[in-house]
Structure 1
Amino acid sequence: MDKKKKGQEIENLVIWMLKSLLCAYIISGLLLLLLTFLLYKFNINEGKVAAGIIMIYVVSTFVGGFIIGKLSGTRKFLWGLTCGILYFALLLLVSLGVYRSLQGDGANVVTTFLLCAGGGMLGGMIS
Structure 2
Amino acid sequence: MEKKAQKEFKMVWMLKSLLASYIVTTLLLLLVTLLLYKFDLDEQKVQIGIMAVYVLSTLAGGFIIGKLVRVRRFLWGLILGVLYFVLLLLISIGVYRTVQGGTNMIISCVLCGAGGMLGGMLS
What is the TM-score normalised by the length of structure 2? 0.98
Larger radius of gyration: 1
- Which of residues 3, 25, 41 in structure 2 aligns to 1:44? 41
Equivalent residues in 2 for 1:1-127, closer than 5 Å: 4-104=1-101, 106-127=102-123
How far off is 1:45 after superposition?
Answer: 1.1
How far off is 1:103 after superposition?
Answer: 2.1
Instruction: Give me the CA root mean square deviation.
Output: 0.6
Quote the sequence identity (%).
59
What is the TM-score normalised by the length of structure 1? 0.95
Question: Residues of 2 paired with 1:101 and 1:121: CA distance?
Answer: 29
Question: Residues of 2 paired with 1:45 and 1:108: CA distance?
Answer: 17
Question: Residues of 2 paired with 1:22 and 1:103: CA distance?
Answer: 25
Aligned residue identity for 2:68: L
Question: Residues of 2 paired with 1:65 and 1:37: CA distance?
Answer: 26
How far off is 1:109 after superposition?
Answer: 1.0
Superposition misfits of 4+ residues, deviation over 4 angstroms: none
SS in 1 for 2:90: helix
Aligned residue identity for 1:80: G
Aligned residue identity for 1:120: G
How far off is 1:23 after superposition?
Answer: 0.3
How far off is 1:77 after superposition?
Answer: 0.4
SS in 1 for 2:41: coil
Question: Residues of 1 paired with 2:80 and 2:9: CA distance?
Answer: 15
Question: Residues of 1 paired with 2:113 and 2:94: CA distance?
Answer: 22
